[in-house]
Amino acid sequence: MAVPVVAVHEDSSVNGSAASEKRCYNMIDLKNISKIYFKGTENEVAANDDISLRVDEGELIAIIGQSGSGKSTLMNIIGALDKPTEGEYILDNVAVHEIDDADLSDIRNQKIGFVFQTFNLLPKITAQQNVELPMLYAGASKSKRQKKARELLEVVGMLDRAKHYPNELSGGQKQRIAIARALVNDPSIILADEPTGALDSKTTKMVLELFQKLHKERNCTIVIITHSAEVAEVCERVVTIVDGKIIKDTANPAVSGGSSASGVSNNEESDIDDIMISSTKEGDE
Ligand SMILES: Nc1ncnc2c1ncn2[C@@H]1O[C@H](COP(=O)(O)OP(=O)(O)O)[C@@H](O)[C@H]1O
Ligand SMILES: [Mg+2]
């Protein structure tokens, strides 16, 4: 695909997530983004209204707002699921607003790790196979997939559940699997939509601790969309959206940044390609 690349950012030839040193590389750059529904009619809604937002590599940021404030609209734009009516969006040096709709899915697979409120795991394949799935779509070899999936299962503390099926796991465990899956293609950003919305408070705390760990130890860039103050509290930066506009963008001094590469490895697996491929054909993902 022909991806429009822009050269407006500070430094770095690195295009991965686990950086060994903190630097100021602009990962997300939203410039005067608006999304207008029913434009020119009496029902016109500015779901996002002139939003400008820059997120640096390694930031853990919450976008918080009440129901109807425009969070999902913004998440769809940041996640390259939808394009703005107006404005520019540059994600990790790629001008997303210039990309054909047909190519947006490639950008999503390469650059974005999604975490959803309801986990969205495939029920008929194991935890590890779920983690491998984005690598399967990207065409990675089986041995690479297995090695990477097991590394990430260990990172999220779920290696001992690698062979379990989603219905054998608690909500918090499912979300940890989903977070491992989000990381598997080394995305530029993790984009989490109400990631604790379906969890009880104890499990919420554990999942938030995992995001903090990924932020501190792996320098992941994490954007969490939420309506919850409890979630925003663990983020180092909190952006508040009201009626489609950013009204506040504040640092949270209680949360500090940091970085250092980490990674563990393990190896061992069974034959799963056929099951995985047939499961994905069921269109559950
Ligand atoms: N597909 C759509 N068509 C028309 N209006 C929409 C659409 N999606 C969202 N809106 C409107 O945009 C505003 C923001 O919605 P949304 O982004 O879903 O907010 P939130 O996720 O914060 O609840 C709301 O007024 C909503 O009704
Ligand atoms: Mg929403």
**From 33, 35, 45, 49, mutation site for ligand 1 pocket: most ligand atoms within 8 A of C-beta:** 45
Say yes or no: CB of residue 44 within 6 Å of ligand 1. Answer: no
Encoding tokens for residue 76? 């769809």
Backbone angles phi, psi at 132, to 5 degrees: -70, -20
Model pLDDT, residue 2: 53
Encoding tokens for residue 115? 């975490």
Average pLDDT over residues 211-221: 94
**From 73, 193, 246, mutation site for ligand 1 pocket: most ligand atoms within 8 A of C-beta:** 73
* Average pLDDT for the chain: 85
DSSP string, 100-167: -HHHHHHHHHHHEEEE-TT----TTS-HHHHHHHHHHHTT--HHHHHHHHHHHHHHTT-GGGTT--GG
Tell the residue number behind the tokens 């604790």, with chain if given. 196
Encoding tokens for residue 25? 């590389």
Nearest to 165 by CA among 176, 174, 175, 157: 174
Model pLDDT, residue 5: 59
Average pLDDT over residues 107-135: 95
Model pLDDT, residue 3: 57
List residues, by chain if needed, whose CB lies under 5 Å from ion ligand 2.
71-72
Cα 205 to averaged position of ligand 1 atoms, centre (Å): 29
Say yes or no to pLDDT of 67 above 70: yes
Model pLDDT, residue 253: 79
Write down the pTM of the prediction. Answer: 0.83
**From 72, 116, 228, mutation site for ligand 1 pocket: most ligand atoms within 8 A of C-beta:** 72
> What's the residue count for the chain?
285
Average pLDDT over residues 84-105: 93
Say yes or no to pLDDT of 131 above 60: yes
Contact 49, 243 (CB under 8 A): yes
Q: Whose CA is nearest to atom 24 of ligand 1?
A: 68
Ligand showing the shortest atom-to-Cα distance for residue 74: 1
More confident residue, 23 or 131: 131
Average pLDDT over residues 194-199: 94
